[in-house]
Each structure stands twice: as structure tokens, then as C-alpha cells.
Structure 1
Amino acid sequence: MTIQHPNFGAIADDRVIIFDTTLRDGEQSPGFSMTLTEKVRMAEALAELGVDVIEAGFPIASNDDFEAVRRIAEVVRGPVICGLSRAAPGDIVRAAEALKGAERRRIHTFISTSALHMKYKLRMEPDAVLEAVVASVTLARQHSDDVEWSAEDGTRTDIDFLCRAVEAAIKSGATTINIPDTVGYAAPEDLTRIFSTVRERVPGADAVILSAHNHNDLGLAVANTMAAIAGGARQVEGAINGIGERAGNCSIEEVVMAMRTRPDAYPYVHNIETTNILKTSRLLSTITGFDVQPNKAIVGRNAFAHESGIHQDGMLKNAATYEIMTPESVGWTKSNLVLGKHSGRAAFRDKLVQLGYGEIGDNRLNEAFRRFKDLADRKKTVFEDDIIALIDETVVRDHERVRFVSLEVRAGSKGPSRAELELMVDGVTHTAEAQGDGPVDAAFNAIRTVFPHEATLALFSIGAVTEGTDAQARCTVRLEENGRLVDGQGSDTDTIVSAALAYVHALNKLLVKRERREPEAMSA
């Protein structure tokens, strides 16, 4: 059986559409705000990964969100570009305006359907909600042939009312129906039952795409997504690294690799280029300042590590004894000495191509090569992970208002530490000296002297990119201001410089966050 879709044509029943919401639902996570440049770079990486739909943002949320969706719609080709809207005319028109430049576009509109949400959040009667479904989908179809409708809190909605709402959306022109587990409450058997019931009972459900959007509050998002597919869902919604509200979204990379690794259990096809998974995951970590946990499936640094003697013995005899997929299938390579201080630009460019950075422009290449040479002068051995950390920072730090220039610190067991700092703010160079309880505190005080602000330090952590005493330090800084949380990340062989870079990165994200006004009732 096939389904005709305005953006995808004939869709076979074994085809699963990958809908990525890293830039919308993922970015709603506390501290995960991205700049316009970072969003565009991430969207380009998602296109390279092969996702079918990119939910680029919530255009009505702020001018910044609108501009990000508009820019992504103009420059990113390949995936369908989607904008989110509530069931309100202003939201829908704003989304349509932002999506005008897209090669292929989708408007995604939603409203709550559970009794709990209708009574306390919407304060609407069920019949009024059904009227809103019809009106919003009808208006969205006037601006786009591809309209997705979502039943927020769908898995806690009375099944009879859910079927009525889905039927109303389909009759009004929705081409995709999303039934999200908004609060991560459902169990896998619930998802299979709900999707099977909708597919069987709702007229026209067999002619549209059913979609699953599951949150991870009980750690069941991926299991629930696979169960939804078994029930008839043919679009899965999630985010890279599983980022998102509260405990996060369904992790795209885990769903994709489950289908690839277990075709006997999940006989479905998708368009993801799995060898780009790790690169995309690391780019997101660099942009947001959040590393994935070491034991994270697929992309965690321990995902293919073996310490047990029994496991190591098995691996030496046959890797399949303890690895159900190859590291190379998701983009891992063995980290080894690849370049040094005598390496030239051609060798450096060739290594970038091997690591998946073949499209980096000349200006960024020159800046990256300069930073590489500086690193090679300070570090005995340069590993691939070192280069990845260096390049990702170079790529994503364009157009920041505050830029790190230089830092000199004096520290020790006698007396307070001192820091001499130079920053560029809006193109103008500023210097400051400050004292502190240790060199990191002194450096942070110097930053606050150059760029005064009321944000407080909520988190500071240090890790190593690779091994050895000359390894690059990777620092994460979390700032909090009036309930806003932002995270920044920096890497350098000098730990104090790394900390300062992370603080400046977080400060730039805070400046973006200040300009935003989030509307009530973020979706699904």
C-alpha cells in the first residue's frame, strides 16, 4: 500500500519519514538556545544527515525565531522545512511568511485534546476545540499543501474524542497527523493500541501519514516510537542526542540504528546517512555546550568501549561477540596521530574532508588552520578528536557580539590570582584586570568587568577532549539570569583559556536569550 503525499509523492508502507525537531523542541530545553548562525549551521548538518523534515522553529515566538526559520527556508535545500504554530490565525500566517523561501514547506499546527488540558490549560469545551482544529487546519492549507496537525497530550486523550479530532483535521486538509506523548506518560503497548485504533476507526486515516512524537520522562521515548511504528505510524519525530523539554525527546540516532541493526524486528527504510550521525551529534554538543553522557547509546564516548577482560578477549577474536553494529557505521574512527606542527594546509584540508568537513569555506579554513598550527605548537600529539573540537568551535562561533582575544593569568598558593583579559565587544577591543579566588574566578571577574551583567554562574565543569597532560581541556559554563539558563563551551590546551572561552560563549547565548519572548503553550 502507498500513500500520496504533496511533498514526498508515493510513500510505500515500509518507508519511515524522519522528522527532526532539534531546532524547535530541542532548543526549548533550558540553556540550549542557539544563535541564528548556529541554527543555520545545524540545519545544514541535518540536511547532510538526510532527515526528511526539519522543524526549524516557532516563528511567532520572537523575531529571532522568525528570522531563523526564514533564513533556513531560504538556504537549506533537500528536507522539507517546517514551522510550528498554535491554532491561532496570527501564528499560522506568521509561519507561512517565514516559510515563503522554502523549496518544500510545511505548516505544523497543534491544539490540546486531553480533558486535563482542555479544562485547565485551554479552558475550552470539546466542541470548541474541534472548531479550532477545523479553522486552523483550513487556514494552514490556504498557505501550504503540506499541513501537519498535532493533538497535544494525545496519549492522555479519550480515544473517542481523539478519533473525532483526527477526523476533523483530515477532512480540513491535514496531510500528516501527529499523536504526541507530550509528557512522556505512555507505555509502548499504549502507543501501538492508539495508532492502530486511529488507523482502523478514522475515515481517511489510511490516506495520511501518522506521526509519533514521544518524550522521555520515563525513559521510554525510543521504545514508544518503535511501538508506534508497529501500530501504523510512518513518521517519527525526535531530536539529535535526544535533547528537548524536561527529560528530552526521542533520540533520532537511536531509532535509526534500531531499524538498521534489527531489520528482522523493524523492516523499515529511511534516508539517513548513518555515517554522519556522530559528526552531527558532536556539532550539536559544541553549539549548545552540552556533551552527551559517556554511556549514551550510539554517540556516547563509551558506546564502543570495552574494558572488561572477557569482553576484550571476545573483541580480539571477533568484534561481533560484543558489538551489534560497527563504530564506522555511525561515524566513529579510531583516534590516532594524524597531523603535526609541520603539516601543511593541503594535508589539513584533506584531513577535514576525511572527517566530514569538506564544505568548509576558505575563510573558515584559514582560521581553522591557524588555530590548528597554534594547537600543534603547544601539543605533542594532535588527535582527530582534537581537530573535531577545534573545527566545530571555528564553524559555530561566527557573528558573536563578544569575542575572546587574549588572557594572561598569575596564580599560585600566595595571594589572590590575577587575570589580564582582552575582549572584543561589538567590534571594539576592551581590556580589564581582575583578582579572584583562583585563576578561573579571576578570569570570570575580568569578563564581568569588561561586559557587566547580572547573570550568576550556575555550573562549571572541566573535561578532556583526549588523553595526556597536554590534552585540550573542554569546559562548560552555565549562566543563569532571571530564570534564563544558557550553556557555553570552550576548548583549549590551557584550561583557564578554555574556561574563559566557555564563559564568553555562554554570555553570547544569554544576549540572544534576552531578546526572546517565548509565547505560552509551547507544543507537543
Structure 2
Amino acid sequence: MNTIKIIDMSLREPGQRKAASMSFKEKLEVARTLDRLKLDTIELPAIGAAKADQLSNKTIASMVGTALSAAVEIGCGMVEETWESIRTARHPQLNLLVPVSTVQMEYTCHKKAPAMLELIQDQVKLCRFFCENVEFSAVDATRAETDFLYEAVKTAVAAGANRVTLCDSAGIFLPDEFAAFVTGLKENVPEMENVELYVQVSDEMGMGIACAAAALSAGATGVKCTAVPAGYPTLDQVATLVQKKGADMDIAASLKTTDLQRTISQLSRILAPVEESESSFRDVALGDVAGVTLDANDTITDVIAVVQQMGYDLSEEDNAKVYEAFLRVANKKHFVGTRELDAIIASTAMQVPTSFRIDNYVINSGNVITATANLLLEKDGEKLRGVGVGDGPIDAAFDAIEQIIGHHYELDDFQIQTVTEGRDAMGSALVKLRADGKVYSGSGISTDIIGASIRAYISALNKIVYDEA
């Protein structure tokens, strides 16, 4: 019986819907939960220049016992920094991501095949200098020239790689084709005899787990998956495959399955698609744009088109400010989602003079009383007081503001998240109000989440007042 390796990519490949919005705390919770499953490896995303990325990896490395594999994009110049971020892990690994199809090589690395082989040799050696466990991931392998793929794998193994992953990035293979693909590599690259062979299979055609099973039957020793659907076979599917067909395929796994479903359910609350976890009014407001993600390669035209789809109508000056701020974020992360774009717009665009200021507020709330809010605002030196009631303290506070201004604006979106950790954590709130078909966003931050929400509402309100003046 061959024990296969199960590698989880939930943190590295959470899907575009979630890549840009997972908080530091959520990443730690996902890692901690995955660690309980006794997986063979947990994969981490490639880090950027931001210290937060390195801090996230270092924190995870200190708290899990499962092997940690950190992705390194070839030629990124971040090999040493990536190693430093995981070196304290019990079983650290470096995963060098290398495009091997002609299109991807020339587009991503701007190199032809001979120069690419030299780069592979240099980069694998550099990774091996820092870490004894180095994985060579052949990205877009199924669209690569076969002879070049074999040479690339030989070069990587000779340079020190002790794991090779074949990535069907485009999802173009059927199960029998993938089996033949794996067999061809093993037959033509004798160096693979002492090297682990993993597969990362796209579920583009809904056959991801079938292709993975075919690859395992052909001699692959590990399969990559995600806890929730993200374009790859899921952890549950791999576990079911081993449970139901393990004896027939002569394979087993060390995965802890006793509470697998409960664990996946816990992870789903963090990794679930954004559009499933957001309120219905946001779905209506954003429509098809809810799952859109952008990266540093997108032009100002692309970004502003999404901004307009989100309901904003910004000036040329604000468009430029938003794009400049967007690039700062995108250069540090792989993706920027609509939630982050919301925050960028709220903090960058439409900054206006303050019309309404918060003087003080008193909130009463409990499980046996109706929530009430007593707010005192100041406008042009005049004190304005309002009392509101609601289903909760924030709802009551917003009602009190409406009592003061004498107008009800449609609440287009409302988001709350923590900014820092601990008992004195800072909370951030984002409020979007709709007036005359336009969307106005405001942000607020405070150790008091109710206060942050009130500040965010007033920030959006001030933009409406300024625009209507």
C-alpha cells in the first residue's frame, strides 16, 4: 500500500473571490484548523514586499506542526525573504513556481527556452542553498512543449529539487490524457525515480478529482487540493477517493478524517465565496462585479470601469487618486478585490470639508431592551441632537443620525472588520450610502466598533452634503 501525500492549497489558492480579502486573523485561523487534520503539507502564498506578508508566514510557522511550503515565483528576487519567513517552521519547504509553456515563459519571464533552463538551474540552486526541501512546480505544464518540460524537470532535479509538481493550469486534460502525461514524464526522465511527483489539477471541466485519481494510478505520489471549491479538487473529494477506492488503487493517506466534515464546515465560514457571505442588498448593488479581481497589470481604464460598475461616479482627479492608491496595494498583493477597492475609494476619493462633526453619543442596548442611541452632532457651530431606535446599537445610531438630518438615505453597503488583534483591537467600518443614483462611501476606525460605524456614516454623509451644495 502506497501512502500518498495530500497537500492543501487553501491559503495559497483561496480563489480570486477571497484572495484579496482574507485578513491576517483569518489566515491564522485557516492554518490552525488545517493543522488539526494531519495533512502532509500546508502551502502558503508567495510573499510581497509588505512586512505583513512575512509576518503572516512567520506567525503561522510558529504555531503549526504540519510541513509548511512557501511559494516563490521564479525571478522575483524574494527567495531569501521567503525562507526567512518560514525558517522557524518544524518542516519548512520552498516551492518554486516556474511557467513552462511557451506563452507563459515569454509573457511572465520574457525568456526563450534555453535562457529559461539557465534561470531554473540558478533559482533551484538558490532555493536549495537556504532550504533542503525544494519543490519545482511546472506551471501550465500540460501546454508546454514536451521535450522542454522533460529538460526543465531534469535541470531542476539536477540542481537540487526533491519534489516536482505538474500543474494542469488550463484544465485541458481528460483523466486518461493526464495518466499518459504522468507516465511519459516518468519514462523519459529517469531522474524522477527518487523524486516525489505531485499533481495540481484544474477542475475547469469538472474532472479534477478524476484526473488526480488517474495521475495517482500512473505513479504520482501526491495530490494538491483546497478545503472549499476554488477551481481544484477539494479536500473532501480526495479523502473520499482514498476511502472508497484506496484498496483498489493500492493507496492510503495519513489524513485525519474523523472530524473532517466539521473542520471543512469551519473553514467554509472563512473561505466561502464572498457573494455567499454578503447581504442581498450588496448582491443587487454589485451584480456581476462582486467577484471581480484586479492586479497590478490592469490599466487605469480597467480599474475605473470596475469602480463605475460598483456605482461610483468620480471626478478625473479622484480617478487618478484611486488608481495611484490601487497600484500601491496591487504591487504588494496578487489580487485586489471589490472590498479592498471599496476601502481605497472610501479613504482616497471624494475627500471633502467636514459639515457634520460628532460631539458625543450614548448607546443603550441589551437582550431584554430595544436598542436606543442618543447622538449629538455639530454643524456650522450648531448642536444637533437626535434619538433613534433599532434592531441593534448600530441600527439605532444610524436612525438617530437620520432623525437629525431629516432624511433617509439607502444603505447600499455596510462592512465591519478588525484592523489589529487583542482586547484593545481597532475596528474598521465602511458605509456606502446611495443618493440620487450615486454611491458615497465613508470609512471610520476606532477601538469602539459602534463609534467606527458612526464615523463611517458621517464621513459618507459629508460627501453627500458637499456634492449637493
Counterpart-to-counterpart distance in 1, 2:72 and 2:17: 18
Name the structure 2 match of 1:254.
Answer: 237
Query: Aligned letter for 1:39?
Result: K
Counterpart-to-counterpart distance in 1, 2:200 and 2:238: 12
Structure 1 position 35, deviation (Å): 1.8
- Counterpart of 1:161 (choices 142, 148, 172) is 148
Counterpart-to-counterpart distance in 1, 2:254 and 2:240: 12
Check whether the contact 2:46–2:73 (CA below 8 A) recurs between aligned residues. Answer: no
Counterpart-to-counterpart distance in 2, 1:132 and 1:431: 59
- Counterpart of 2:214 (choices 217, 223, 227) is 227
Counterpart-to-counterpart distance in 2, 1:25 and 1:405: 43
Structure 1 position 81 matched with structure 2 position 64: no
Give me the TM-score of the superposition, normalised by structure 1: 0.55
Q: How many residues align?
A: 322
Name the structure 1 match of 2:55.
Answer: 67
Structure 1 position 39, deviation (Å): 1.5
Q: Deviations over 1:416-455 (max 9, x none)?
A: x9747646xxxxxx9443669xx9965957989x945569
Query: Aligned letter for 1:193?
Result: A
Query: Aligned letter for 1:144?
Result: C
- Counterpart of 1:268 (choices 251, 257, 273) is 251
Check whether the contact 1:112–1:152 (CA below 8 A) recurs between aligned residues. Answer: yes
Name the structure 2 match of 1:196.
Answer: 183
Give ranges in structure 2 of 5+ residues lacking alignment: 277-362, 373-387, 418-427, 442-448, 457-469
Structure 1 position 138 matched with structure 2 position 100: no
Check whether the contact 2:164–2:198 (CA below 8 A) recurs between aligned residues. Answer: yes
Name the structure 1 match of 2:270.
Answer: 287
- Counterpart of 1:34 (choices 4, 22, 33) is 22
Q: Deviations over 1:138-178 (max 9, x none)?
A: 00001111000111100111111110000000000001001
Please give the residue correspondences for 1:455-474 in structure 2 after superposition, counting only pairs within 5 Å. Answer: none
Partner of 2:228, secondary structure, is helix
Counterpart-to-counterpart distance in 2, 1:447 and 1:233: 44
Name the structure 2 match of 1:52.
Answer: 40
- Counterpart of 1:179 (choices 163, 166, 169) is 166
Partner of 2:190, secondary structure, is coil
Q: Which has the larger radius of gyration?
A: 2
Q: CA RMSD in A?
A: 3.8
Q: Deviations over 1:454-479 (max 9, x none)?
A: 699xxxxxxxxxxxxxxxxxxxxxx9
Give me the TM-score of the superposition, normalised by structure 2: 0.61
Query: Aligned letter for 1:17?
Result: K
Relative to structure 1, the CA distance from residue 89 to residue 123 in structure 2 (aligned partners, 3 Å threshold; closer, same or farther) is: closer
Counterpart-to-counterpart distance in 2, 1:202 and 1:455: 61
Query: Aligned letter for 1:22?
Result: S
Name the structure 1 match of 2:82.
Answer: 95
Identity %, equivalent residues? 22
Query: Aligned letter for 1:50?
Result: K
Counterpart-to-counterpart distance in 2, 1:453 and 1:137: 47
Relative to structure 1, the CA distance from residue 446 to residue 167 in structure 2 (aligned partners, 3 Å threshold; closer, same or farther) is: closer
Structure 1 position 213, deviation (Å): 0.4
Query: Aligned letter for 1:101?
Result: T
Query: Aligned letter for 1:40?
Result: L
Structure 1 position 122 matched with structure 2 position 105: no
Please give the residue correspondences for 1:418-429 in structure 2 after superposition, counting only pairs within 5 Å. Answer: 419=390, 422=393
Counterpart-to-counterpart distance in 1, 2:233 and 2:17: 14
Counterpart-to-counterpart distance in 2, 1:261 and 1:186: 24
Query: Aligned letter for 1:259?
Result: V
